[in-house]
Structure 1
Amino acid sequence: MTWSAERQGGVVGLVSVALALAAEVFEAGVARGGTDQETIRYFHDHATSARVQTLLFVLGAAFLVWFLAGLRSRLATAEGRDGALATLALVAGAASSTLTLVALAVQDALTLETPTMSLAALHDTLFLIAGLPLTVTLVAVAVLVFARHAFATWIGWLSIGAAALQVVPLFGIVADGGPLAPGGWVSAFLPYPLYVVWLAAVSVVMTARPRAQAADVPDASWSG
């Protein structure tokens, strides 16, 4: 077994999934949605679990960046030319990870200092906005699946589904309250389950069957 950049990315992608699932064990529910006092009390009452969760998510984000490098390697091999879409997937994924890390830093700050509603709102909004560059990554993968057979077709459809669920919470930017608003259950839970399935599936394929060894995957040319 050769440990190409793609295969390394697949392995660390699975590690990132495992860390994310472990972090969910410490999930204590949605912080927002009640009164200001309830939000403040949430971060005070769940400080320890929130800190552990933050640590696990931060570690997972580090492995996710490594996964993105391996993903770009596979996409670039499939795309050919200058690998523009493969690079777009990498840059957009890195941007999403950066926003997520900033949001996690705010989450940790909410447990270490006296929380304020402004800081809590920033935390919620950062997580929400991080879905936009992630959507770009998922769409770029889908395009290269359908146009260049970077992965099996079912991963392309899975990418589209995961991308759509990242977009929905963005409309919460204009919501004053309710489940769609930043911090509501839509933004807190809707985008992540299918994305984790996507990440696990892509990581398994990259680990078990790198493109260089996928002899029966057609190398289609661009049309148009």
Structure 2
Amino acid sequence: MWMLVTIVTFFFARWVSRKFNTPIFNPLIISIAIIIPALIYFKVPFDTYYAENEWLSFALQPAVVALAYPLYEQLPQIRANWRIVTLACSVGSIMSMLTSTLIAISLKADITLIASLLGKSVTTPIAMEVSRNLGGEPAIAAILVLLVGLFGAILAYPIYNLLNITHPIAKGLTMGTVSHALGTATCAEKNGEDAAFSSLALVLCGVITSVLAPSFFTLALWLSA
């Protein structure tokens, strides 16, 4: 039953999003606003809901892999701009971890929260694993990833329009670096070139964050000592 509810809610959310054509009516926000109150009202445990949507969760894996297709289509551009791609993803990942660490320390956040913050700008599975390995809380990491992704999916293209940013490399790399899979999905709806570079940034930033997060966590321990 709940799998059918999820599917119907998704198509309804997509219809509303296209009808109003504004970033505020993001399909994910609409779906959350419908599903969560329904689960609370009918007193359905999350484990039950998740179990009934197991096949949909499984389908997410090939859906993510499908994002590699626009990446393949843009291989010549990627090869020609590999220095820009590498630099942008490296700087983006480092600044994301550095700023979150410094802000958390300045606010005297618990070290567990800092460990959960470090992976906030990469896709959920990587963020949760990074958090777990550093002694953080994977559930908090997942929530932070969702929030960051939503902000990017909602605000990125209005900001691009406001600042007159039109180049697909600039749009794709910033979206993938900051807003991971949710941002990449938004790019895929807007422009195939944007989606290709966003997919690439998503992967590269995931690798960079996984490698460097322990160093930033050590820095956080030293600064908060």
TM over 0.5: no
TM-score where L is the length of structure 1? 0.31
Higher helix share: 2
